[in-house]
Amino acid sequence: MEPSWHGRRLDAVTETDGRVTVLAGGVGGARLAHGLDLAGAELTVVVNVADDVELHGLAISPDLDTVTYTLAGLADEERGWGVVGETYAALEALGRLGEDTWFTLGDRDLATHVVRTAALRAGEPLSVVTARLTAALGVRPRVVPVSDDRVATLVDTAAGRLGFQEYFVGRHHADDVVGLVYDGIESARPAPGVIEAVEEADVVMIAPSNPFLSVEPVLGVAGVRAALASTRARRVAVSPIVAGRAIKGPAAQMLASLGHEVSALGIARLYSGLVDVMVVDERDAHLAADVAALGPEVLVTDTVMGGTDGRERLAREILAAVRG
Amino acid sequence: MEPSWHGRRLDAVTETDGRVTVLAGGVGGARLAHGLDLAGAELTVVVNVADDVELHGLAISPDLDTVTYTLAGLADEERGWGVVGETYAALEALGRLGEDTWFTLGDRDLATHVVRTAALRAGEPLSVVTARLTAALGVRPRVVPVSDDRVATLVDTAAGRLGFQEYFVGRHHADDVVGLVYDGIESARPAPGVIEAVEEADVVMIAPSNPFLSVEPVLGVAGVRAALASTRARRVAVSPIVAGRAIKGPAAQMLASLGHEVSALGIARLYSGLVDVMVVDERDAHLAADVAALGPEVLVTDTVMGGTDGRERLAREILAAVRG
C-alpha cells in the first residue's frame, strides 16, 4: 500500500535537511529517531526521564539508554531494551549478595549506569553526562533529557500507587492504570537547549511512544508544551496505536482504563490542537477522515518500524509529507 | 621435611578450638585465614583498608575482597585476585564510554563494589556492609576492616608520590619504594570489635602479607599495636619472604629499597618484640637460630600455601605449635 496523504499535498521530495526534534520515550521514540538519523536529519531527541529509577545506588535512565543504544547501533532490537549480546554476570552476583534483581541489568548496561551515577554524584547535570555518553558511543544526533531535575511517574492502580518501574517491570504493566502522577514535574526545569530545540526546529515530532508514560511527562515540563504550541515548526505525531493495539507496552490498556478510545483516533484526540500532522498506520486508514476532522492533516502509511529499513522509510515519508 | 620447632616444645595436639585473629592484607592473609577456617578455628580476620580506592565512583576494597572471595571459595586462586571464572563485559563497556580501565574490574567483582558503594553512600559503615557481604556469600569467619575510616597508603618513589593502586596495579609495583605514608591513619579509629579481637583472642597471627603495604597500616590504626603488645594471646607472624623472595608482590624489593634484609630474618627484625612465634619456611631453616636469637620461638615448616590442603596443613601446624 502506498502512503496516502489527507491534507494539502504529499510532496514527493525526499530531501531531509532541516532541523528535526523528536519528543521521545523509549522504543518507539528510539526507532523513529534512528530512522530520522539514517535519513540524514539534523536531529535532536528530547527524552523522557520520568521512568528513571535508582537501583543498587545506580542512576538508571531506561528511556535515555534505549534511545542512545538504538542510535549507537547497540540496542537489542529483538527484545526492545538493553544492549545486544548482553550478559548478566554482575546481576547474578548482585543476587548472590542479597540484592533484589527484579530489574534486569546487563553487564554492559551496568557500565552506563556506573558512569552516569559517578558523574551525577560529582555534580554533572544529566544532560551533560548524556552528551558525553552519546559522544563516546558515536551517536550523531543530540540526545537531551527533557530535564536535569528529577521527575518520577507514579502509577495509580487498584493495587495502590506504584513507582513506575515497579509497575512496568516489576509487575509487568499488568495492573489497570486509573491515574498518573508526575512527581516533581511542577518544579522541573527544562534541560539546556530543550525549549530551543522545539522552538527553532523545522519539524517537531511526537514519537509513537506511550502518551501517558512517555509524552506527557515531556510536554509537562515547564515551557515545553508552550514551545510546541508556539513553534513555527511543522508538528507531527505518530500514533503508537495500530489496529487497536500498541506495538509494544501498555498504551492500549492504559487508553482504555483511562477512558480513551483505543485507536489512532483516540491518540489524535489527545494531541488535538498540538500537532499539524497525524501519522496513522495503513491498517487504520478507515480512521483517517475522522482524524482529519479534528484538524490535523493525516499521513497514512506503514508505521511499524521493524528493521532499520522500515525506520528510514517512515522517517523519509514523514519528512517528505511535512515539507508540503 | 617435618616441621621443626625452635622453642619450648612442639605440641602434637591438633585441636583447633580457641579464638584466632589474623591481621591480614590480601592474598597471603586470605590463604592463611582460609587454612584456619578449614582447620575449624573460631576466626576473625582484621583486614587492611589502606589499599582501598575509588574508581568510576565505586568504593573498591581489594584486600577485603580477596579475603572474602577466598573464604567464600570464589577466588581466582591461580591469578591471585578477583573471582574465578570472571568476565569483563562491563569493563569493556566502561572503556567504550571513555573511562580509564587500567584497573581490571570483573563483572562479578563489580557487583560487590556496587553494593558496597550504595551502602557507604547510605551511611552504612564499611564494617557493617562487609559483614553483610560475607554473610551473603556464606563466609563463616568474621571479616572486619581494621577501620571504617579512610586510610590510604601513598608510595614515595623516584617517580614521585603515587597512590597505592597507581603504584601497585597501574605501574605493576615496578618502582623502587623509598618511603610510605599512611594518609589518614592518625585519625582513623579501629572498627568495632577490632581491638577486642586482638585482646581477647587465644592466638593472633600476622599473616604472610607485605609488612609495609598490608601489616603496618593495620598495626598503625589507633590501639591495634598496643592491643597486640598487651594481649595475652600467643602472637605469631608468618614470614612472607621465602628463600629471599616474596611468594607474591613487591615485598622483597621493598625490604631492599627500604634498607632491610630481604629474608625471614629481616621480617623477624621488623616484628621483633611484637610476636612470640615466627614461622619460617623450611627453605630458610638455616636462619632459624638467628631468628630465635631475636627472642621469638621459631616454627620451621613449608609455608607456601598452594592449594587448600597446604593452607589447612600450615594452619594446623601453627595452631598445634602455639598451643605448646
Instruction: Tell me the per-residue pLDDT of B75-106, one tens digit each, with 9 for 90 and over.
Output: 998 887 889 999 999 999 999 999 999 999 99
Kindly report the backbone phi and psi dihedral angles of residue A62, in degrees, each rounded to the nearest multiple of 5, phi listed first: -60, -45
Rounded-to-integer distance, Cα B196 and Cα A105, Å: 41
Rounded-to-integer distance, Cα A199 and Cα A106, Å: 37
The verdict on residue A191 lying in a domain is yes
Higher pLDDT, B17 or A88: A88
Looking at beta carbons, which residues of chain B come within 8 Å of A107? 87, 89-90, 93, 107, 110
User: Which of B74, B94, B97 best probes binding to A when mutated, by most A CB atoms within 10 angstroms?
Assistant: B97
What is the reported pLDDT for A142? 98
Cell of B13: 595436639
Looking at beta carbons, which residues of chain A come within 8 Å of B132? 98
Q: Which of residues 91-120 of A touch B (CB under 8 A)?
A: 91-94, 96-99, 106-112, 114-115, 117-119
CATH label of the domain that carries residue B154: 3.40.50.10680
Question: Using 50, 70 and 90 to split pLDDT, how confident is the model at B300?
Answer: very high
Amino acid identity, position B206: I
Residue-wise pLDDT tens for chain A (324 aa)? Answer: 677 877 655 454 444 458 999 999 989 999 999 999 999 999 999 999 999 999 999 999 999 999 999 999 999 988 878 899 999 999 999 999 999 999 999 999 999 999 999 999 999 999 999 999 999 999 999 999 999 999 999 999 999 999 998 999 889 999 999 999 999 999 999 999 999 999 999 999 999 999 999 999 999 999 999 999 999 999 999 999 999 999 888 999 999 999 999 999 999 999 999 999 999 999 999 999 999 999 999 999 999 987 889 999 999 999 999 986
Mean predicted lDDT score pLDDT of chain B: 93
The verdict on residue A136 lying in a domain is no
Helix (H) or strand (E) holding A129: helix A126-136
Radius of gyration of chain A (CA): 19
A115 vs B97: CB contact, 8 Å cut-off?
Answer: yes
Rounded-to-integer distance, Cα A5 and Cα A279, Å: 9
Cell of B12: 602434637
Query: Is residue A183 classed as helix, strand or coil in its secondary structure?
Result: strand
> Cα torsion for A138, A144, A145, A147, to the nearest 10°?
150
Q: Is residue B12 scored above 60 in pLDDT? A: no
**Cβ proximity of B225 and B219 under 8 Å:** yes
Cell of B260: 632491610
H-type alpha helices, A224-293: 224-230, 251-257, 264-270, 288-293
Rounded-to-integer distance, Cα B238 and Cα B208, Å: 5
Helices B107-121 + B126-136 axis angle, to 10: 140
B114 vs A57: CB contact, 8 Å cut-off?
Answer: yes
Domain with A223 in it: 4-51+147-322
| CB nearest to A97's CB, from B57, B93, B133 | B133
| B253 and A CB contact within 8 Å | no
The verdict on residue B240 lying in a domain is yes
Q: In what order do the strands lie in the sheet with B42-47?
A: B4-6, B297-301, B277-281, B234-238, B203-206, B19-24, B42-47, B142-145
| CB nearest to B56's CB, from A92, A118, A132 | A118
Looking at beta carbons, which residues of chain B come within 8 Å of A118? 56-58
* Of residues A33, A67, A41, A22, the one with CA closest to residue A319: A41
Percent of chain B with pLDDT over 90: 87
The verdict on residue A104 lying in a domain is no
Looking at beta carbons, which residues of chain B come within 8 Å of A94? 111, 114-115
| A55 and B CB contact within 8 Å | no
| CB nearest to B97's CB, from A91, A106, A112 | A112
The verdict on residue A260 lying in a domain is yes
B96 vs A133: CB contact, 8 Å cut-off?
Answer: no
Give the gap in angstroms from C-alpha B6 to the nearest C-alpha of chain A. Answer: 45
H-type alpha helices, chain B: 27-38, 62-71, 89-96, 107-121, 126-136, 164-165, 194-199, 216-219, 224-230, 251-257, 264-270, 288-293, 308-322
The verdict on residue A75 lying in a domain is no
Closest-approach residue (CA) in chain A for B118 = A57
The verdict on residue A151 lying in a domain is yes
B107 vs A87: CB contact, 8 Å cut-off?
Answer: yes
Q: CB neighbours (10 Å) of residue A161?
A: 14
| CB nearest to A90's CB, from B92, B111, B119 | B111
Q: Is residue B195 scored above 50 in pLDDT? A: yes
What is the reported pLDDT for A17? 59
* Residue showing cell 515545553: A224
Q: Is residue B17 scored above 80 in pLDDT? A: no
B96 vs A132: CB contact, 8 Å cut-off?
Answer: no
Q: What is the largest CA-CA distance in chain B?
A: 62
Rounded-to-integer distance, Cα A245 and Cα A249, Å: 9
Average pLDDT of span B181-195 = 97
Q: CB neighbours (10 Å) of residue B193?
A: 16
| CB nearest to B117's CB, from A57, A94, A133 | A57
**Cβ proximity of B249 and B218 under 8 Å:** no
Number of domains in chain A: 1
B57 vs A121: CB contact, 8 Å cut-off?
Answer: yes
A98 vs B132: CB contact, 8 Å cut-off?
Answer: yes
| A76 and B CB contact within 8 Å | no
CA angle A295, A232, A315 (to 5 degrees): 75
B57 vs A110: CB contact, 8 Å cut-off?
Answer: no
The verdict on residue A294 lying in a domain is yes
What is the reported pLDDT for B14? 44
A93 vs B99: CB contact, 8 Å cut-off?
Answer: no
ipTM of the complex as predicted: 0.90
Q: Where are the beta strands (DSSP E) in chain A?
A: 4-6, 19-24, 42-47, 53-55, 58-60, 142-145, 152-157, 160-163, 177-183, 203-206, 234-238, 241-242, 245-246, 277-281, 297-301
Measured CA distances, A72 to B29, B41, B101 (Å) = 45, 54, 21
| B257 and A CB contact within 8 Å | no
